[in-house]
């Protein structure tokens, strides 16, 4: 038996330096794994009793070439050498299983064997001395033979025996172990060992043995979990769960409701058979119904699926601290009409046909093919179905024939999971920050031209008249992008380069031609995961896909003179502008962002006055600006959806700058409330209307209340009509977000009534963590885990279906571009950013900072 378990505790890929140099974030931990019978050997030494695999493998013909685990990898004697190899590999975790019959020679507590405990204590000591954390599995298929003679996993008393064994392990090894798995892949034990008879103990009971085995596994797992939870957790602080082998099932015909049902049913009759009871209570309903129905037709007066009592349901339900799963491959599921009644079988109960995809690479094992996207689909599916909070991938690997360990197929398999083909890297820029050519080619003035030409508004009085001169050097920029190896470039359109004063009667063909030329070449600037901004032809000629932002803060000055984002007519002007851009550039663009970071425009430009147009209206201007930004976005989305989408097939959304907020005191309910409120008064102000409809309720309530106390007869927050709510709601095809940093949120008592302010409306205090690395920008610190927390939060809150991180980066001072801080920031983040060689004009700061 070849060892199959390669444990990947967290798997993500970051890029640092050259794009070919891969580095994983420091917050991720990697491990490898083995199972006692597969690697230990020493099968009859130091008091170990026989297991079902000793018996099974000693019967000629049961194992290919009649090999057995008597010696195996001889880890029982060579564990120190094994740990040295693990240390040399650089892994941080090692998952191994305990041999039950090495602790209790015949599986019962009256045959306790101290020598077995001493062996595992020595192994754990060796691991910890070498900086490797143990992850321990109580049972990995090697049941003591004596317990099998008593009925094994078909005997309801097995749960009590397992509980006694688990208690001894927790007591002796528990102080040194933080992660426990009670039972490894119970589905494999039950299906292969008690159903098909090809694993130990070799029983072929395909119609009922599998279900009885599953029933007793779940009771045994719950017993072990409850013992730890009640007797050891308070002192030892570990986490316990069961694990399952889980595959992702694609419907054979993605448009067929029957095949979609088959995919769901295939999961429920496999991993779901165990997970549903643990994470939801009871068997999956489809399993209950189908087994009962077929049992009746087969002549049974009862269901072949054992029925849990309510007490058992309550006892098993919730017996997890995380979700552990073994992921290897995917399958395609097809609906099948119910088979004729014949010999009972779980496969006939399931009633689906599963197959592989002939295009998937194959391994040395007939069942193991490679489908990297299936891992993401499966994790998303399980997260949505069970919401377990934490995942650990406890196994994932690739089999090869002997002599092929230094092989390309394993390298390709493992690397494909971290950088799957569907993941693409990009860089980005914004028109005013990089283009220059501010008064060329028919371009009219924007609010940033006006604002930056006023002395004192920008540090060192710099401006964007030339910026990176991308207007003239876009071909060089695209060549740089091509050399970087990016596949996507996000850029923004200068509204006043298309309509000189922002209105349709000042249409400028030269501006359209510039962006068409860019799209056919390629572009410049920074940031990853999808930010674009340049000319279409040049980009496409270099195989770089454009992602286009319609508005990135540079409003035509004429429209500002008409009231800018405080004028309700701005939505109509924006709609006319968007229509022209879609008509001209739309055939070449598949991803659109209508408005970049409306929160930044409204807060800094119309609230604090530090960005163009420089208005300080902190109490009401921000809300009016937000109201009109949302209406303008919805207008642009609806125009594309109704007039262009059918022919062009693109996707449109708005984007937001979003931070992850931690409670200052994680035990404080008030600080937990402050986290939610801080989010809702920032990114939620925009996202809620788009993804759910209307403002966040907490914003509506708090602004109305403080407005009343301030003497207003109405709320400073504009009220959407029902027509506007319906018009804005659902105006997204994906969630685009700019992620840079995190913050702590702390509850604050309501401030006295003074000058109205969004910050007083919000009523929270935010701060950073002094331990977080700092950049050249005072607001930008590095917190890689926050990215994951934030994405999980947003996915749970809005369930948008697709995310694109449109900005993420790190600022340094001039001369520091080849710097360690940027390398560490980018390599530690989940979605990385990459810079080109040129500086961009950093709004309100000028040129000093490099991103």
- Please say if 148 is a catalytic residue: no
Say if CB 542 and CB 481 are below 8 A apart.
yes
Tokens of 250: 């694609």
Is residue 420 among the annotated active site residues? no
Cβ pair 442, 508 in contact under 8 A = yes
Q: Which of 597, 676, 724, 746 is an active site residue?
A: 597
**String of DSSP letters for 247-264:** -EEEESSTT-HHHHHHHH
Q: Of all helices (H) and strands (E), which one includes residue 373?
A: helix 372-386
**Which residues, including other chains, have CB under 8 Å from residue 129's CB and lie 6 or more apart?**
none
Q: Which of 133, 185, 560, 680 is catalytic?
A: 185
Instruction: Measure the CA–CA gap between 448 and 735, rounded to whole angstroms.
Output: 27
Beta strands in 714-846 (DSSP E): 735-747, 764-767, 803-807
Token pair in block for residue 730: 């659902």
Where are the alpha helices (H) located in 729-817, listed in sequence order?
Answer: 758-762, 784-798
Q: Which DSSP string corresponds to 136-168?
A: EEEESS--BHHHHHTTGGGSTTHHHHHHHHHHH
Work out the widest C-alpha separation in the chain, in whole angstroms. Answer: 93
Distances from the Cα of 665 to the Cα of 669, 745, 793, angstroms:
9, 9, 19
Q: Is 395 assigned a catalytic role?
A: yes
| CA 796 vs CA 385, 388, 653, 799: distances in Å | 11, 12, 19, 6
Is 440 designated active site?
A: no
| 568 three-state secondary structure | coil
Whether a cis peptide bond, with omega within 30° of 0, leads into 176 is no
How far is it, in rounded angstroms, from Cα 150 to Cα 157? 9
DSSP string, 179-235: EEEEES-HHHIIIIITTSSSSTT----TTTHHHHHHHHHHHHHHHHHHHHHHHTHHH
Helix and strand element counts for the chain (H, E) = 35, 22
SS3 state at 506: helix
Distance, in Å, from the CA atom of 676 to the CA atom of 699, rounded to the nearest integer, reads 11
Give me the catalytic one of 268, 395, 545, 680: 395
Provide the annotated active-site residues: 185, 395, 597, 807
């Amino acid at each position: 038996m070849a060892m199959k378990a390669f444990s990947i505790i967290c798997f993500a890929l970051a890029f640092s330096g050259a794009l070919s140099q891969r580095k994983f974030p420091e917050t991720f931990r990697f491990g490898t794994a083995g199972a006692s019978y597969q690697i230990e050997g020493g099968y009859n030494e130091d008091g170990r009793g026989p297991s079902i695999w000793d018996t099974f493998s000693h019967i000629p013909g049961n194992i290919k070439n009649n090999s057995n685990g008597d010696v195996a990898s001889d880890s029982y004697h060579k564990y120190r050498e094994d740990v040295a190899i693990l240390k040399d590999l650089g892994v941080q975790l090692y998952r191994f299983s305990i041999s039950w019959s090495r602790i209790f020679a015949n599986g019962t507590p009256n045959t306790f064997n101290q020598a077995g405990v001493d062996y595992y204590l020595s192994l754990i000591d060796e691991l910890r001395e070498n900086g490797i954390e143990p992850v321990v599995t109580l049972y990995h298929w090697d049941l003591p033979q004596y317990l099998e003679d008593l009925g094994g996993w078909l005997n309801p008393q097995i749960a009590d025996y397992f509980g006694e064994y688990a208690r001894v392990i927790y007591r002796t090894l528990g102080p040194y172990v933080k992660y426990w798995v009670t039972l490894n892949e119970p589905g494999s034990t039950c299906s292969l060992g008690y159903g098909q008879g090809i694993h130990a103990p070799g029983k072929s009971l395909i119609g009922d043995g599998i279900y009885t085995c599953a029933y007793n596994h779940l009771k045994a797992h719950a017993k072990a979990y409850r013992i730890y939870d009640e007797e050891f957790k308070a002192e030892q602080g570990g986490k316990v769960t069961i694990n399952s082998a889980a595959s992702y099932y694609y419907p054979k015909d993605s448009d067929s409701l029957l095949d979609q049902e088959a995919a769901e049913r295939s999961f429920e009759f496999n991993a779901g058979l165990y997970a549903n009871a643990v994470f939801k209570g009871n068997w999956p309903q489809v399993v209950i119904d189908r087994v009962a129905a077929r049992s009746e037709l087969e002549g049974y007066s009862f269901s072949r699926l054992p029925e849990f009592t309510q007490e058992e349901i309550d006892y098993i339900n919730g017996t997890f601290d995380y979700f552990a799963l073994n992921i290897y491959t995917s399958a395609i599921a097809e609906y099948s009409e119910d088979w004729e009644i014949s010999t009972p079988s779980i496969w006939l109960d399931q009633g689906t046909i599963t197959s592989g995809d002939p295009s998937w690479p194959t391994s040395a094992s007939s069942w193991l093919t490679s489908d990297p996207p299936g891992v993401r689909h499966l994790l998303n599916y399980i997260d949505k179905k069970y919401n377990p909070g934490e995942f650990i991938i406890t196994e994932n690997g690739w089999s090869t024939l002997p002599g092929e360990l230094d092989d390309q197929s394993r390298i390709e398999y493992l690397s494909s999971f971290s950088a799957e083909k569907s993941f693409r890297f990009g860089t980005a820029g914004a028109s005013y920050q990089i283009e220059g050519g501010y008064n060329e080619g028919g371009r009219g003035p924007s609010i940033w031209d006006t604002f930056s030409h006023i002395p004192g508004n920008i540090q060192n009085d710099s401006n964007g008249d030339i910026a990176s001169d991308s207007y003239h050097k876009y071909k060089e920029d695209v060549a740089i992008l091509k050399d970087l190896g990016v596949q996507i470039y996000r850029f923004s359109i200068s509204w006043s380069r298309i309509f000189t004063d922002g209105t349709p009667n000042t249409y400028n063909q030269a501006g359209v031609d510039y962006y068409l030329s860019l799209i056919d070449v390629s572009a410049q600037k920074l940031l990853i995961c999808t930010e674009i901004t340049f000319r279409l032809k040049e980009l496409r000629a270099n195989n770089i896909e454009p992602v286009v932002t319609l508005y990135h803060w540079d409003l035509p000055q004429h429209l500002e003179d008409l009231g800018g984002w405080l004028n309700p007519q701005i939505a109509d002007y924006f709609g006319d502008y968007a229509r022209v851009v879609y008509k001209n550039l739309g055939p070449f663009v598949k991803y659109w962002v209508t408005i970049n970071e409306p929160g930044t425009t409204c807060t800094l430009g119309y609230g604090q006055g530090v960005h163009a147009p420089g208005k300080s209206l902190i109490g009401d201007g921000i809300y009016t600006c937000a109201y009109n930004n949302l209406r303008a976005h919805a207008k642009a989305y609806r125009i594309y959806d109704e007039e262009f989408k059918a022919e062009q097939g693109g996707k449109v959304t708005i984007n937001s700058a979003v931070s992850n907020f931690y409670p200052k005191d994680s035990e404080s309910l008030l600080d937990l409330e402050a986290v939610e409120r801080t989010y809702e008064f920032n990114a939620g102000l925009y996202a809620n209307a788009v993804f759910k409809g209307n403002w966040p309720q907490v914003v509506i309530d708090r602004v109305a209340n403080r407005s009343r106390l301030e003497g207003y007869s109405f709320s400073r927050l504009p009220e959407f009509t029902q027509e506007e709510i319906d018009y804005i709601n659902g105006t997204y095809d994906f969630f685009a977000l700019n992620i840079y940093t995190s913050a702590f949120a702390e509850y604050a008592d309501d401030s006295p009534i003074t000058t109205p302010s969004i910050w007083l409306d919000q009523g929270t205090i935010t701060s950073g963590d002094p331990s977080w690395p700092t950049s050249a920008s005072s607001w930008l610190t590095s917190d890689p885990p926050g990215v994951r927390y934030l994405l999980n939060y947003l996915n749970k809150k809005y369930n948008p279906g697709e995310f694109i991180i449109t900005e993420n980066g790190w600022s340094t001072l001039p001369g520091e571009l080849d710097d360690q801080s940027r390398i560490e920031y980018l390599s530690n983040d989940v979605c990385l950013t990459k810079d080109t060689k040129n500086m961009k004009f950093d709004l309100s700061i000028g040129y000093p900072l490099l991103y």
